[in-house]
């Protein structure tokens, strides 16, 4: 956003009338308690309203929400998770500058570090801040402090302010310190603008005081001593740099600045600190503008000159406020209480703080390779992606509302991958911090694409997704994108990450499966059917950790044994087994089938929601942390959507508030706040990589969502809406009755109207809809050919696609040789007979030629009676032949269960023997590696059969979803005879 501002007497006068010297005219200020200040003129027209229906919505934002420990705290919060960790300072939507007060952190004990509401000391006003992130290094660089006593700044500061003398609203922060200095801050995208009003001349003279602004480039929020440089630029400016970063141990970076004053200055500079003094006797309101850059001080100066060339503080504040008001007006709500509006618009505000602009007005930015790059014309390069947190609800929200900006955010991640080798999973500034499990950059990108942010290089993004999903050792800035080579290798060769890998390994499989599902959906959208089928199947890997006896998702070891009592936040990251059991929302129907059906799922979920912010240890819902976000909406898949409506409303009413303790845990760059926005709308992106929304119930009488084209809108009417009225009695889309809690986004984006009828009494709306709800399990196949999901046959002398492990048979780089198999009698698409049974060998034209068994259900178009079910296959990475349950379902719905067993495809490299359950059907004289090189190890394909009740017709066959020893089973062909 480029601001070319001129002095405007009318704006200045209006600002003075509304707020005195406090700044612009966007809204009535919110004080630290979250209440409306009395500065607005009674009966005056609402500022910010216009003929197009723009409302004054910034007045409902309380930036102090989340700055105190939660008023509904978790019993056992995640580390640093007792407080929202937000900040009240001045910024713009997705701005580089976030200029905010900084308070002490009890010697570093209270996290997140930044602004902590219970403190009464401001140690400086840093120009950057990461909102709601728990680790040290959450920015907080270059604190600036007005003072009369330079020795009482920073660590030496004493109690110096009271919340009653403090206000904040979008784009503006103000505090009068105990020494009488009034500090006001506002911002443009890349610059800060401060107005520091010192006491009158008489007060200064009588006390013989000298006014100062202290610049400290040698410390940040959490770095007690860092490298900083400051120098003067002429008579009225400073420039310099500071080294920041180390977020969760990541590398550092350099932040540059250029600051200019509205008067001459004197600067005493020593070792990266500057005590700047000036004459404030005749003009006590000292103005200071400052530009930032991650490239150079000269670029910081250019940012300042282009975005804020003049000296009109009120005009800049008005522009910042208007930028926020424009964003907030994307969703206009009517009805409800002022408290509910404050909760809603504050949550929306917090959802739009990050990711943050990184490039300068010149287009320059520092990439992940530490080199300078130019962002493409018309685009913005963004940084600060807490992907593990934001992929679940925030990115779908910003993509739906602001597809252009979010497309640039997705392209930024692709640019990062170009520079570091993979899509980063947790990216502060220009590094992958390598924190939190999984591969969360992948669902972030697909969540963006699914919800409307499609203007980026999605094809290249898919290339990076399939790279990291198929290769054990992929790194970005020195960190393994999928945690470690051993963990990803386990996932590829066993279908789950074994607990042999230690800390947090028990929750990796769920995250990897989510990334694989996202990859499958982007592949499908781009017409890549091979990768669609391959990654959709791998997304079912979560079932490999479903313990059938305990009916819970539990960690396993490589040998297939179970860890029955995993330790929260040790074996499973920031949570426990019951919380993770409900995470695989993309296959809710499959999960409920394993749990014991809809009734069993309802009973379990009812117990789960006995606590709405439990923390890590208790087997209950934890609103303060992301793995539980989707769980309240799962009732919609059980045939009891009224339970979702009640639970979501209870969470919104009791766990969130509009005061400083109003967030249930770390906001994590807007993640928790975005959940509240969706809850208030009565919609939720339950399946993050799929462009649809499940339904709760709206909190307001009317909601108008204006789509990015400026012409179309979604209108949500909710007759009977009230805090205690969550139950849907009826629902219609564009006048047509709906009977299920699901909407496809495409049906909402072309000017649509949703009409809810709500009441305080429970209804049975949607009770018959569970079977129609979208669920992406492996149950939609009519032939084995449709279910193929692995590439296991290569050609001698020819490199496998990309030469990646995941495109090979054993997921470790080795495959069958097509030439050797042909010599043994199996050629693509041809018939092959063994033991009196004729099979069709897979043709492989799709790039897939076998199926890793993952619980696939093959439902025959024409049921068939047979004496024998026969399969050809083998196992990989099996020290002993794995066994898994194969279920035959007859047309009368009776079932027969069999132990499917296949020996290892190389018989342990030649040291093993064929078991009585198998016969050798094919012997390949050699196998090949991913580069097409042959070795002398023989590879086998085995025959297995089972006797059926020939008096019954076979309706379907369900393949095993896990094996007893953690090995993988592959099927090449299947026949009923």
Over residues 429-441, mean pLDDT: 90
Q: What is the pLDDT of residue 39?
A: 29
Question: What is the structure's pLDDT at 286?
Answer: 97
pLDDT digits (tens, 9 = 90+) for 730-780: 999 999 999 999 999 999 999 999 999 999 999 999 999 999 999 999 998
pLDDT value at residue 31: 52
Q: How many CB atoms lie within 10 A of CB 42?
A: 5
- Backbone dihedral region of 648: left (phi > 0), alpha (psi from -120 to 50 degrees) or beta? alpha
Strand segments, DSSP code E, in 369-430 are 372-374, 382-383
> What pLDDT sits at residue 503?
83
Q: pLDDT band for 18, please (50, 70, 90 cuts).
A: very low
User: Do 87-302 and 338-354+367-772 fold alike per CATH?
Assistant: no
pLDDT in tens, 839-883: 999 999 999 999 999 999 999 999 999 999 999 999 998 889 999
Q: Which CATH architecture has domain 338-354+367-772?
A: 2-Layer Sandwich (3.30)
**234: helix, coil or strand?**
coil
Q: Cα torsion for 677, 679, 681, 683, to the nearest 10°?
A: 120
Q: How many residues are given for the chain?
A: 977
Pairing assessment for the beta strands 727-733 and 90-91 based on DSSP bridges? unpaired
Residues forming a β-bridge with 899 = 885
Instruction: Round to whole Å and give the CA distance between 278 and 610.
Output: 61
H-helix or E-strand spanning residue 607: helix 598-608
Strands (E), 460-515: 475-476, 479-480
The pLDDT score that the predictor gives to residue 532 is 97
Task: Tell me the helix, strand and coil percentages in the chain, rounded to 5.
Answer: 25, 25, 45
Domain 87-302 belongs in CATH node 3.40.50.300: no
Instruction: In whole angstroms, give the CA distance from residue 291 to residue 96.
Output: 10
Evaluate the CA torsion angle 621, 625, 628, 629 in order and state its sign.
Answer: positive
Q: pLDDT for 486-528, tens place per residue?
A: 899 999 999 999 999 888 899 999 999 999 999 999 999 999 9
DSSP letter for each residue of 368-386: TTSSEEEPPTT---EE-B-
Q: Which helix (H) or strand (E) holds 717?
A: strand 713-719
CA distance 659 to 65: 5
Question: Is the pTM of the predicted complex or chain greater than 0.85?
Answer: yes
Q: For residue 153, give the DSSP letter.
A: S
Pick the closest to residue 96 from 412, 358, 316 (CA basis): 358
- Confidence grade of residue 52 (pLDDT, cut at 50, 70, 90): low
Give the helix ranges, DSSP H, for 655-793: 671-681
pLDDT of residue 19: 26
* DSSP type of residue 665: S
Cis peptide before 355 (omega within 30 of 0): yes
Domain boundaries defined on the chain: 87-302, 338-354+367-772, 784-976
Q: Is 55 helix (H, G, I), strand (E, B) or coil?
A: coil
* Rounded CA separation 230/242 (Å): 9
State percent of the chain over pLDDT 70. 94
Q: Give the strand pairing for 814-817 and 927-929.
A: antiparallel
Could you write out the three-class secondary structure of 894-936?
CEEEEEEECCECCHHHHCCCCCCCCEEEEEECCEEECCCCECC
Look at residue 479 in the predicted model and tell me its pLDDT.
Answer: 82
Tell me the average pLDDT across 568-589. 94
Strands in 742-744's sheet, in edge-to-edge order, are: 683-684, 692-695, 742-744
| Neighbouring C-beta atoms of residue 833, cutoff 10 Å | 11
**Sign of the C-alpha dihedral, residues 387, 392, 393, 397?**
positive
Four-point Cα dihedral 734, 737, 741, 744, nearest 10:
-40
pLDDT of 283 over the 60 cut: yes
Of residues 102 and 53, the one with the higher pLDDT is: 102
Distance between CA 92 and CA 303 in Å, rounded? 15
pLDDT in tens, 906-946: 999 999 999 999 999 999 999 999 999 999 999 999 999 99
CA 177 to chain CA centroid, nearest Å: 38
- Residue 252: both structure tokens together: 């550092």
Q: pLDDT tier at 25 (50, 70, 90 boundaries)? A: very low
Contact between 349 and 45 (Cβ < 8 Å)? no
**Residue 549 has which token pair?**
């006896």
- Between CA 738 and CA 755 the distance in angstroms is 10
Encode 497-516: b = buried (16+ Cβ within 10 Å), e = exposed. Answer: bbbebeebbbbbbbbbbbbb
């Amino acid at each position: 956003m480029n601001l070319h501002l001129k002095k405007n007497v009318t704006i200045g006068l209006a600002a003075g009338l509304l707020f005195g010297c406090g700044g612009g005219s966007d809204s009535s200020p919110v004080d630290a308690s979250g209440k409306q200040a009395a500065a607005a003129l009674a009966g005056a027209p609402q500022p910010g309203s216009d003929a197009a229906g723009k409302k004054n919505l910034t007045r409902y934002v309380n930036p102090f929400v989340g700055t105190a420990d939660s008023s509904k705290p978790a019993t056992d919060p995640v580390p640093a998770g007792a407080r929202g960790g937000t900040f009240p300072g001045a910024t713009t939507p997705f701005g580089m500058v976030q200029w905010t007060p900084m308070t002490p952190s009890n010697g570093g004990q209270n996290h997140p570090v930044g602004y902590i509401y219970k403190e009464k000391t401001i140690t400086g006003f840093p120009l950057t801040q990461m909102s709601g992130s728990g680790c040290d290094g959450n920015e907080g660089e270059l604190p600036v402090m007005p003072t009369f006593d330079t020795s009482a700044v920073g660590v030496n500061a004493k109690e110096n302010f009271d919340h009653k003398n403090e206000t904040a609203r979008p784009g503006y922060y103000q505090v009068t310190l105990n020494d009488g200095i009034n500090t006001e801050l506002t911002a443009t995208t890349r610059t800060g603008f401060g107005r520091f009003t010192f006491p009158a001349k008489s007060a200064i003279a009588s006390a013989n005081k000298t006014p100062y602004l202290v610049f400290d480039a040698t410390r940040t929020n959490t770095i007690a001593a860092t490298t900083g440089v400051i120098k003067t630029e002429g008579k009225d400016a400073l420039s310099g740099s500071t080294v920041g970063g180390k977020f969760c141990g990541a590398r550092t970076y350099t932040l540059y600045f250029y600051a200019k004053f509205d008067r001459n200055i004197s600067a005493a500079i020593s070792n990266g600190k500057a005590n700047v003094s000036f004459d404030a006797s005749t003009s006590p309101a000292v103005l200071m503008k400052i530009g930032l850059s991650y490239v150079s001080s000269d670029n910081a100066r250019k940012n300042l000159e282009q975005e804020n060339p003049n000296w009109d503080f009120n005009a800049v504040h008005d522009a910042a406020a208007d930028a926020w008001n424009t964003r907030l007006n994307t969703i206009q709500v009517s009805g409800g209480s002022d408290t509910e509006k404050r909760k809603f618009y504050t949550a929306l505000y917090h959802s739009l703080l990050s990711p943050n602009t990184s490039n300068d007005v010149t287009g320059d930015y520092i990439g992940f390779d530490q080199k300078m790059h130019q962002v493409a014309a018309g685009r913005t390069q963004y940084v600060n992606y807490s992907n593990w947190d934001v992929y679940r609800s925030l990115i779908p929200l910003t993509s739906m509302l602001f597809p252009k900006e979010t497309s640039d955010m997705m392209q930024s991640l692709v640019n990062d991958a170009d520079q570091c080798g993979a899509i980063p999973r947790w990216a502060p500034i220009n590094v992958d911090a390598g924190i939190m499990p999984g591969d969360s950059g992948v669902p972030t990108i697909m969540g963006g694409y699914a919800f409307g942010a499609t203007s980026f290089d999605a094809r290249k993004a898919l290339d990076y997704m399939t790279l990291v999903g198929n290769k054990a050792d992929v790194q970005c800035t020195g960190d393994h994108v999928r945690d470690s080579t051993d963990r990803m290798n386990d996932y590829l060769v066993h279908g789950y990450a074994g607990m042999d890998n230690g800390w947090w390994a028990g929750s990796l499989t769920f995250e990897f499966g989510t990334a694989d599902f996202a990859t499958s959906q982007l592949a499908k959208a781009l017409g890549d059917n091979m990768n669609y089928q391959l990654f959709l199947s791998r997304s079912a890997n979560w079932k490999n950790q479903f313990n059938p006896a305990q009916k819970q998702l539990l960690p396993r070891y490589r040998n297939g044994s179970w860890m029955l009592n995993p330790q929260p936040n040790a074996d499973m990251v920031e949570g426990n087994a019951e919380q993770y059991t409900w995470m695989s929302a993309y296959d809710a129907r499959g999960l409920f089938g394993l749990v014991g059906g809809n009734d069993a799922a309802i009973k379990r979920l009812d117990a789960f929601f006995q606590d709405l912010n439990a923390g890590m240890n208790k087997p209950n819902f934890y609103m303060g942390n992301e793995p539980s976000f989707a769980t309240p909406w799962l009732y919609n898949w059980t045939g009891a959507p009224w339970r979702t409506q009640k639970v979501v409303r209870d969470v919104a009413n009791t766990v969130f508030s509009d005061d400083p303790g109003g967030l249930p845990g770390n906001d994590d760059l807007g993640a928790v706040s975005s959940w509240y926005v969706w809850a208030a709308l009565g919609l939720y992106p339950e399946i993050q990589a799929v462009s649809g929304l499940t339904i709760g119930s709206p909190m307001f009488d009317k909601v108008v969502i204006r789509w990015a084209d400026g012409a179309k809108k979604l209108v949500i009417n909710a007759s009977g809406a009230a805090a205690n009225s969550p139950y849907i009695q009826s629902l219609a889309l564009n006048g047509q009755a709906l009977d299920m809690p699901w909407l496809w986004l495409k049906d909402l984006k072309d000017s649509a109207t949703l009409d809810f009828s709500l009441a305080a009494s429970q209804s049975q709306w949607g009770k018959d809809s569970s079977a129609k709800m979208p669920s992406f399990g492996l149950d939609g196949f009519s032939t084995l050919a449709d279910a193929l999901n692995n590439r296991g046959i290569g050609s001698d002398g020819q490199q496998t696609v990309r030469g990646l492990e995941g495109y090979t048979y054993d997921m470790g780089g080795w495959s069958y040789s097509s030439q050797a198999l042909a010599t043994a009698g199996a050629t693509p698409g041809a018939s092959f007979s063994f033991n009196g049974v004729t099979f069709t060998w897979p043709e492989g034209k799709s790039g897939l030629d076998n199926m890793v068994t993952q619980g696939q259900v093959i439902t025959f178009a024409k049921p068939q009676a047979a004496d024998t079910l026969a399969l050809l296959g083998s196992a990989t990475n099996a020290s002993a032949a794995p066994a898994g349950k194969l279920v035959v379902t007859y047309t009368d719905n009776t079932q027969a269960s069999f132990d499917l067993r296949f020996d290892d495809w190389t018989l342990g490299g030649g040291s093993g023997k064929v078991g009585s359950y198998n016969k050798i059907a094919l012997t390949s004289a050699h196998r090949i590696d991913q580069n097409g090189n042959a070795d002398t190890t023989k590879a086998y394909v085995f025959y297995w059969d089972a006797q059926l009740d020939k008096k019954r017709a076979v309706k379907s066959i369900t393949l095993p979803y896990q094996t007893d020893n953690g090995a993988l089973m592959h099927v090449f062909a299947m026949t009923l005879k």
